Structure 1
Amino acid sequence: MPVQFHAEQLDTPTHRFDYTNPSVTNSNVGIGLGRNGPFDSSTARDFTDATFTFVYPESWRSDAEGFEEALINGHSNYYPNGFKSFFRMDSVSVENTIELDDTDLDTYVDAVSDIQAADDDLAIVFVSDEMRSRGYRSPYWAVKALLAQAGIPSQMVLVDKLRRGSPHYVQLKYLIVNVVSQIYAKLGGTPWVIHRPRSSFDLVIGVGKSEYRSGRVGGTRRTLGFASAYQSNGAFLWYDSTRATTSRDSFNDQLTDSIVEAAEKYAQREMDPEHIVVHSYKRIGPAERDARDRLESQFDGLDVTLAHLNDSHDFRIYDDTHQSGLSKRGLWIQTGGDKGFVMTGGRRKYRPGSPVPIELQVEGSADIEEIAQGIYDLCSVYWKDQFGSNMPITIKYAEDIADIVKNAQKIDAEGVASIDIDRMVNPRLRDVPWFL
C-alpha cells in the first residue's frame, strides 16, 4: 500500500555581501563580490595587506606566471581588477617564488622549510592530477599538513585545470573566483554568507572524526575527532580537535570538550548562545549528548538540538514531470515528528544533480523544518565552490578535514615526513578555515 507524505519547498538561499547592510545580496557569488566586495569589508580587518609565496616545479613556470598575473591583476569580467580590488584590500603581492627541481614528494617536503623562511601570509602550491594517483604520497597531503603544523595557510592549485587540452581544464574566468575566495577565507576573511535574518540559531557546530589503522593487516586503530563552529549564516568561527587515541572513552571525553569549547569561544567573542545546533554525520554519539548536557547546564536558557545527517541510505527522490528526472532542490519531506528528508542535491544549473536526499533526525525541541532550512542554507556557503555543494558545510568540511588528517597519519607512520597529528593544526589557524 502506498504511503503518502506532505512535501514543502524550503526558501531558496541568497548570498549576502555586507555585514552592516542586510539588503546587499545577490544570487550570484561572482557578481556579488565584484560589485560589493566580501561580507566583512565594511568591518575592521587586520589582514588588509597580504603577501603570497608561489611554489611550483620549474617546468611549470609559465602556468604559474599566468595564474599569478590573473590573481594579482584580474581576469575577464568575472574578476576584472585582481585580488586587491575584488576583496577591498590595501596591498596584495607575490613576495617570494620557490621553483622546484622535480615533482616528487621529497622535493615538495624539502620546500616546506623555504616556505616557512619566506614568512608570507599564505603559500600557493601548484600540484597535478597525476599526483592524486599516488595516494597519501601525494605532495598535496604532506605539504598541506606540514604547513598547517607550521601555522601557514596554503592554497593548492591543480595545474591541469589551467591547461587547455587537459581533461581537467576549466576556463580561468570560472575557476578564479573559487580559488581567490578560498585564499581570502584562509587569510581570515568572510567572502560571503547566507542571508537568513529569521534564523533563531546562534551557532551551528559540525562534528567529524578520522580513523587510521596502522599496518597492512591488523594494527592499532587510532581515532581523532574534531568540531568546527559556524554562525547560522555560514560564517566560519573556530576549529578544535581531539588527540589521536585508541580509547573510545578518551575519544568521547575529548570530543565533548571540543564541542563545549566551540560554544565557549562563541560566548567570548559574541554573546552567550541561546540556541545551538550540532550536526553529526551518520549517527549522534555519546560525545554530542554529553556536550549538550554540559552546555545546557553551563549557559542559562540555552537550548541545544542534535541533528543526525545521513546520505548513506537507499532512498531516492525523482520528479517524473521533468526531463532530468531529478526533483527540485530545497524539497522538505517530514516523515515523523523528529525526522524527514531534505533534498539538497536535485537538479542544478551548473553542477551535477543527485536524487539522494539527506536523511535528517533530530533530538531536541527546535522546529525540525527550521533545522532543515538551515541544512539547505549551509549548502550555499561552500567557499570552495561559488555554486555550492550537495552537503552542508558542517558535514562537507568535516569530510575534507578527515581526509587531510587520515593521509597525514599515513605520511607520519610511513616516515615520509614528520607530522605531529595531535598538534597538526597550529593554534594560529584555529580561527581560519585552513582545510579549504
Structure 2
Amino acid sequence: MRNESLFLNTLAFEFPSETKTFYFTLTDREDVLLTKLSHQLFPNNIRKIFPELSNGENLYTSFTRKLEGLTSLEINFATENFALVKRYFNREIKHYFTTRDILVEPTFIKDNQVWLRNTTEKPPANCAIYDRFTVKVNFNQFTNTPELVLSYDRKAKVYSNSVNAFLAANEGATAELFNRVVHVQYFQKGDRKITKRSVTKYDFLKEKEDVDYNNVYPIIGHKLAAYLGFNDEEEEPANQLQSKNRYTKYHNKINGFYNKFINNTDFRKLIQISNNGFDKARPLQIGKTSAKSNQLVFGKTSDGKNAIDVKPQRGVNNGPFSQPRRKNNIQMFFIVPEGYKKLTNDLSTYLIKNYKNLFKGLIHYTAVPITLASKTFNIPFTDYANPLAEIEKALENNNWVEGVKYLAIYLTPIGKHAIDKEQRKIYYKVKEKLLNLDITSQCIETDKMLKVIEEDKKVDEYGRSKSNFAYTLQNMAIAINAKLGGIPWRINVPDHKELVVGVGAFRHEDTKIQYLGSAFSFDNTGAFNSFDYFHHDQTAELAGSIEEAVIRYANVNDKPGRLIIHFYKEMSEEEIKPIENALHNLGLDIPVFVVTINKTESEDFVIFDTGWKELMPYSGRYINLGNKTYLLCNNTRYDDDSHRPTDGFPFPVKLKIDCPSDNTLQIDTKTIEELIDQVYQFSRIYWKSVKQQNLPVTIKYPEMVAQIAPHFNAGNIPPNIGNDNLWFL
C-alpha cells in the first residue's frame, strides 16, 4: 500500500490524575435537579458510604456539585465504573455547548448530538438546515484508554414557521404530520433572559404545562416531507453516475468542528484531550483481507477460460458466469403509459441490439436469446396515477403461450420510492400480479429514464458523446439474468460447503412494523438456496427455518462444520437461544458464529487515509477496534489506482464477531480472517448493479425481501416462484 497514512475520527484523552469528589443521596429532591443512577451506574466503592444499598434501589447524584444533605465520595476515574464516568463527561459536554447557546439533543444512548445552523447551503423553502455532530465518550477496547468519537451525522431540516403558524396557513393540515420538533423556551433569571432549545417528540409536549406552540418548530420527517412535496433525505446528484465523496465532506466537517469547539483551553479544562489531533491507526490494529478476496469470475474469454476481474462493471463485458437454466425461449413485452408507446421502439432496439455500441444487447449479458413478443402482448395504460386495474385486465386477457418464458419491461410512472404511499402500493401490486403469472419483470421509472437519455444527447467536457444510459441498461441486464436464474458472476474462491444464513431487516414507515428477511446459502460462492421473511418478533419461526435449512444442507452435503449467521444487529439471548435449541434437537454440536453487520454504513467510527487526496482507504483494509469489533473498508480503491469517482466512496462497515454457542471460546486469528473475508466477498455479488456495494448481500438481499413482501396480498410471497428466485432485484 503506497503512501498510506490511516487515522480515525477519535481523540484520545487522559483521565484526571487526581480523584474527584462526587455527592450522593438515596432520595430524590424537589428543590434541586439530581441525576438518578441505576445499579449499572453505581460507583465501585458506593457501599463505602451506603453499605446496605441493593442493586434494586436507585441512587441520586449531583456529581461534583456540593449540596447539603448529600454524602461525598472520592471517585478515581481510572479505576471507576466507566458507565458512571461517561455519564459525568456527557453532562459536562452538554453544559459546555448549551452555555454557548447551541442546541444539544441526547441520542438514544445518551451521547450528545450538537446541532449547528448551516448557513452555507441553500435550504428548501421555509426551512433551516442544521449540521449535526455527535460527541461520544468511549472506552477504546484496543488501547484500553478513553477517547472521544467525533462523528458527523445526517443533516436536519427544521421548518421556519412554528407549529401554530403552519397549521393556520395550511388548511386541512393536522398535528399528525409532526414527529420531532424543536421547542424554544424563554426564562428570566434576574436581569438575564435565558433561552433553552430542545429537541423532543411532538406527542411529548402534551405532558408539559404552558407550552407556547408559537415557539415549537417542526423537524421535517417522512410525513411532513410528503405533505410539503419534497424529500426529507439528502439530495442526490442530478447525474445518477456522479458520486459525492463523503470522505472529504465528512473530514472537513469534523475538522471544522474540532478546531472551533474542541481544540481550545476551555474544552481541555473539561476533558484532557491530546494535542495531536485525531488518532492515527496503530500498526497492530491494521489488517487486510486476503489477496484474491476481491476477485470475481465472469463468462469465458476466447481461450475458453473464465475471465477474472475485480470490477463488475468491467467484468460483465465478458458475459455471465452462467446462463439461465432450462430457458431458451424468452420473449419480452412492454407495460407502458399510453403517451410513451413510441418510446418502446427505441428501448427494444437498445435492449435487443445495442446502445451507442457500449451496451451490446441482453444476449451478451444473459447468454440466451431474448426476443420481442408480438406487439399484441404490449400493455398500454391511460391512468398514470393508478394503472393497476388496466394492467390486471390486460394480463388476464393475454393469450400466454405455454413453454415461453415472458419478460415484462414495465415503464412505470410510479417508483417504489414515490412519496405517496398509495402509489407505492400500486407499484408493488403490479410486481405481485406479474409474479403470480410467473412473469419476470424489470421496472424502469419513465421520467428518470427520459432524463438520462436526453442528457446522453449532449457531450461531456472533453467533447465526447455522453452514454450514461448504457450503464442503466447494464444494470438491467444483470438483474434480468439473475431473475431468470442465471449467475452474472461469482466469487473466485474454491467451492467450500458451508451454511451461511443472512438476516436483514426493514421497518415500514407506514405501519411502523419491522420485518426480517432471511437468506440461506449452502456454499461460499454466493449462490442462495432460499429466501423468506418474518415479523421481527417471530424468533421461533426464524429458528425453525434455520433448522430446516440445516436438514436440507445435511441431506446433500453431510452435516455442516459450523453455522455462520450474518445479522443486521447484535443478536440478543432471546434471538439466539431458539437457534441453539434447534441445533441441539438435531444432535448437532457445532460452533455458531454470529457476525453483526451494521445495516447502515458506519458513521460513528470512520477511517481516513491522508496518503490519498480523496481520503478513502484501500479496499479490504480493516481496523481492529477491540472487543472483536472491526471496521472494514469495502470499495473499489485497489493497488492499481483504477478507482473512478463514479465507483463511489462508500464508508466502512462495522463488524462484530461472536461465538454465542460457546462464549468462552477464544476465536482464533484464522477464523476471524476467514469471517471478515467472507463478508468482504459477499458484498461483491450484488446483482442489481454493476457498482460495488459495501454491505454483503447476506444483509442487503433479506432487507429487500422484507421491504417488498409485506406489500403483497396477505403478506405472502407468491408460492409459484420458488424460494430461491431473485425476484426482488
- TM-score tier (shorter): 0.7 to 0.9
Aligned to 2:518: 227
- After superposition, give the CA deviation of every residue in 1:117-136 in whole Å (9 maximum; x if it has no partner): 54453322112477723235
Question: Which 5+ residue runs of structure 2 have no aligned equivalent?
Answer: 1-11, 14-142, 144-281, 457-466, 638-642, 661-666
Aligned to 1:298: 586
Aligned partner letter, 1:175 = T
- After superposition, give the CA deviation of every residue in 1:83-134 in whole Å (9 maximum; x if it has no partner): 23432215543352111112112x1354135335544533221124777232
Is 2:701 the partner of 1:420? Answer: no
Counterparts of 2:473 and 2:452 in 1: how far apart (Å)? 18
- After superposition, give the CA deviation of every residue in 1:65-95 in whole Å (9 maximum; x if it has no partner): 3222111223344432x22343221554335
Counterparts of 1:182 and 1:214 in 2: how far apart (Å)? 28
Counterparts of 2:723 and 2:700 in 1: how far apart (Å)? 18
Deviation at 1:153, TM superposition (A): 3.3
Deviation at 1:212, TM superposition (A): 5.1
Is 2:689 the partner of 1:385? Answer: yes
- After superposition, give the CA deviation of every residue in 1:372-423 in whole Å (9 maximum; x if it has no partner): 11111112111011122121111122232232245x17xxxxxxxxx221x2
The answer to whether the 8 Å contact 2:517/2:703 transfers is no
Matches within 5 A, 1:145-184: 145-148=432-435, 151-164=438-451, 171-184=468-481
Matches within 5 A, 1:318-333: 318-333=608-623
Match of 1:86 among 362, 365, 379: 365
Aligned to 2:56: none
Aligned partner letter, 1:193 = R
Which stretch shifts more, 143-152 or 274-283? 143-152
The answer to whether the 8 Å contact 1:15/1:193 transfers is yes
Structure (1/2) with the larger helix percentage: 1
Classify 1:74/1:268 alpha carbon distance in 2 versus 1 (closer, same or farther; 3 Å). Answer: farther
Classify 1:320/1:34 alpha carbon distance in 2 versus 1 (closer, same or farther; 3 Å). Answer: closer
Counterparts of 1:389 and 1:330 in 2: how far apart (Å)? 13
Counterparts of 1:324 and 1:154 in 2: how far apart (Å)? 39
Deviation at 1:182, TM superposition (A): 0.6
Is 2:338 the partner of 1:55? Answer: no
Counterparts of 1:116 and 1:363 in 2: how far apart (Å)? 52
The answer to whether the 8 Å contact 1:63/1:162 transfers is no
Is 2:295 the partner of 1:8? Answer: no
Match of 2:486 among 177, 180, 189: 189
Match of 1:121 among 406, 428, 433: 406
- After superposition, give the CA deviation of every residue in 1:134-173 in whole Å (9 maximum; x if it has no partner): 2352343332344345544321112234324689987222
Counterparts of 1:91 and 1:280 in 2: how far apart (Å)? 38
Matches within 5 A, 1:38-117: 38-41=320-323, 45-80=325-360, 82-90=361-369, 92-95=371-374, 96-105=377-386, 107-115=387-395
Is 2:504 the partner of 1:208? Answer: yes
- Residue identity over aligned pairs, in percent, reads 22
Classify 1:47/1:39 alpha carbon distance in 2 versus 1 (closer, same or farther; 3 Å). Answer: same
Matches within 5 A, 1:319-358: 319-336=609-626, 338-345=628-635, 349=644, 350-358=646-654
Deviation at 1:322, TM superposition (A): 1.5
Instruction: Say what the alpha-carbon RMSD is for the aligned residues.
Output: 3.3
SS in 1 for 2:344: helix
Give the aligned length: 408
Which stretch shifts more, 293-302 or 53-62? 293-302
Is 2:727 the partner of 1:434? Answer: yes
Counterparts of 1:144 and 1:269 in 2: how far apart (Å)? 33
Classify 1:296/1:92 alpha carbon distance in 2 versus 1 (closer, same or farther; 3 Å). Answer: farther
Aligned partner letter, 2:322 = D
Counterparts of 1:370 and 1:317 in 2: how far apart (Å)? 22
Counterparts of 1:381 and 1:356 in 2: how far apart (Å)? 18
Classify 1:272/1:75 alpha carbon distance in 2 versus 1 (closer, same or farther; 3 Å). Answer: farther
Classify 1:241/1:351 alpha carbon distance in 2 versus 1 (closer, same or farther; 3 Å). Answer: same
Matches within 5 A, 1:277-296: 277-285=564-572, 286-295=574-583
Aligned to 2:533: 241
Aligned partner letter, 1:238 = S
Counterparts of 2:518 and 2:438 in 1: how far apart (Å)? 19
The answer to whether the 8 Å contact 1:201/1:276 transfers is no
The answer to whether the 8 Å contact 1:342/1:359 transfers is yes
Match of 2:540 among 240, 253, 257: 253
Aligned partner letter, 2:549 = A
Counterparts of 2:327 and 2:552 in 1: how far apart (Å)? 21
Aligned to 1:17: 298
Aligned to 2:431: 144
Classify 1:337/1:296 alpha carbon distance in 2 versus 1 (closer, same or farther; 3 Å). Answer: farther
Which stretch shifts more, 67-76 or 290-299? 290-299
The answer to whether the 8 Å contact 1:229/1:237 transfers is yes
Aligned partner letter, 2:391 = A
Counterparts of 1:79 and 1:167 in 2: how far apart (Å)? 17
Aligned partner letter, 1:7 = I
Counterparts of 1:333 and 1:305 in 2: how far apart (Å)? 20
Aligned partner letter, 2:431 = K
Counterparts of 1:13 and 1:287 in 2: how far apart (Å)? 32
SS in 1 for 2:503: strand
Deviation at 1:270, TM superposition (A): 5.5
Aligned to 2:676: 372
Counterparts of 2:548 and 2:409 in 1: how far apart (Å)? 31
Deviation at 1:345, TM superposition (A): 4.6
Structure showing greater Rg? 2
Higher RCO (CA-CA < 8 Å; seq separation 6+): 1
Counterparts of 2:714 and 2:546 in 1: how far apart (Å)? 22
Counterparts of 1:177 and 1:165 in 2: how far apart (Å)? 14
Counterparts of 1:78 and 1:51 in 2: how far apart (Å)? 23
Aligned partner letter, 1:424 = I
Classify 1:178/1:427 alpha carbon distance in 2 versus 1 (closer, same or farther; 3 Å). Answer: same
TM-score (norm 1): 0.81
The answer to whether the 8 Å contact 1:84/1:92 transfers is no
- After superposition, give the CA deviation of every residue in 1:10-67 in whole Å (9 maximum; x if it has no partner): 2351211259x985422343554443x32224xx921232223311101122333322
Counterparts of 2:347 and 2:555 in 1: how far apart (Å)? 40
Aligned to 1:314: 604
Which stretch shifts more, 307-316 or 341-350? 341-350
Counterparts of 2:557 and 2:321 in 1: how far apart (Å)? 17
- After superposition, give the CA deviation of every residue in 1:334-390 in whole Å (9 maximum; x if it has no partner): 234633221225865233313343233332657112111111111211101112212
Aligned to 2:656: 360
